[in-house]
Amino acid sequence: MLPSLREVIDFYGLTANKSLGQNFLLDSNITDKIIRLSLAHQKIPDFSSQNIIEIGPGPGGLTRSILKANPHSLSVVEMDSRCIQIMQDLKNECDCPLNIINTDALTHDTSTLCRSPRQIISNLPYNISVPLLIKWLLQIKEYSALTLMFQKEVAERITAPTCCKDYGRVSVIAQLTCNIQKLMDLNPECFTPAPKIWSTVLLFTPLEQAISAQEIGKIEKITSLAFGQRRKMLRQSLKSLSNISPKLEQAGIEETMRAEEVTPLQFLALSKLI
């Protein structure tokens, strides 16, 4: 029988590492709810048909809840070497094939860890959550779903509509590649140590007509320029792109518009002309 998470933390003397963006989620009621909501929104009873990849399992709170959902296999990617033995202890007690990788998820191609269908589940390290998300969105065809926890303000940026201050580059890329559903908000007190902000769990399901990585790359370039000078009109912020005025017109975008007024589909239309 597995010891409690608090017993595991005490035994290994594990404390959250701020430089790694760690905030441990130890309440099994919450981690079980995250998995239950993810399954319900995906309309599947469990993960028996899915190969799951978890990023940053830490002491294994969310990992245990994933295992309860009977994954076909589980691969955990953990940069903190202190947590590797905890994962090994868990591996020795579970029936599911569990692959432990001690590496940096930012530099590792997670799609190579297991066969399709595969999906990622993670209480993301706050300090690298957006770079990780963009990395996976560039490969979104490789995944059946992403269940990810962010700072609430980051989640609001991801799901933001046009014409609001939160709408930006990550909003455009995420909404062009996925259907995004909010699963739940989490109070800071749910975590150890408690952060100063709320968190939000989002479910990303790839759109059937997913755009290519090449198109996403173009959109990244365009939105980086546009939102890098979001107060300027597009004819000014995008002037480094050749012959931009007629291309804006062809894409149905007025050159006097600002970045936050342009819809994701309009950015996509523009990318096809660049």
pLDDT tens-digit readout, 211-264: 888 898 899 999 999 999 999 999 999 999 999 999 999 999 999 999 999 999
Which CATH architecture group holds 213-271? Orthogonal Bundle (1.10)
Chain centre distance of CA 216: 16
What CA–CA distance (Å, rounded) separates 63 from 143? 19
Residue intervals of the chain classified under CATH 1.10.8.100 are 213-271
CA atoms within 13 A on the CB side of 22: 21
Question: Tens digit of pLDDT for each residue in 155-192?
Answer: 999 999 999 999 999 999 999 999 999 999 999 998 87
- Residue 16's pLDDT band (boundaries 50, 70, 90)? low
Tokens of 61: 């709170």
- Residue 20's pLDDT band (boundaries 50, 70, 90)? low
Identity at 255, one-letter amino acid code: E
> Within 10 Å of residue 88's Cβ, how many Cβ atoms?
11
Chain centre distance of CA 44: 20
Report the candidate in 271, 269, 265 with the shortest Cα–Cα distance to residue 177: 265
What CA–CA distance (Å, rounded) separates 179 from 184? 16
Residues whose CB is less than 8 angstroms from the CB of residue 265 and which lie 6 or more positions away in sequence, other chains included = 176
Residue intervals of the chain classified under CATH 3.40.50.150 are 5-206
CA distances from 139 to 144, 148, 152, 174 (A): 11, 16, 24, 12
How far from each other are the two terminal CA atoms of the chain, in whole angstroms? 59
β-bridge pairing 178-186 and 191-192: unpaired
Question: Tens digit of pLDDT for each residue in 117-162?
Answer: 999 999 998 889 999 999 999 899 999 999 999 999 999 999 999 9
Q: Are 135 and 111 in contact (CB under 8 A)?
A: no
pLDDT surpasses 80 at 270: yes
Model's pTM, two decimal places? 0.92
Chain centre distance of CA 162: 21
- Residue 44's pLDDT band (boundaries 50, 70, 90)? very high
| 5-206 topology per CATH | Rossmann fold (3.40.50)
Residues whose CB is less than 8 angstroms from the CB of residue 54 and which lie 6 or more positions away in sequence, other chains included = 62, 63, 66, 74, 75, 76, 77, 120, 121, 122
What CA–CA distance (Å, rounded) separates 193 from 134? 27
Instruction: Compute the chain's Rg from CA coordinates.
Output: 20
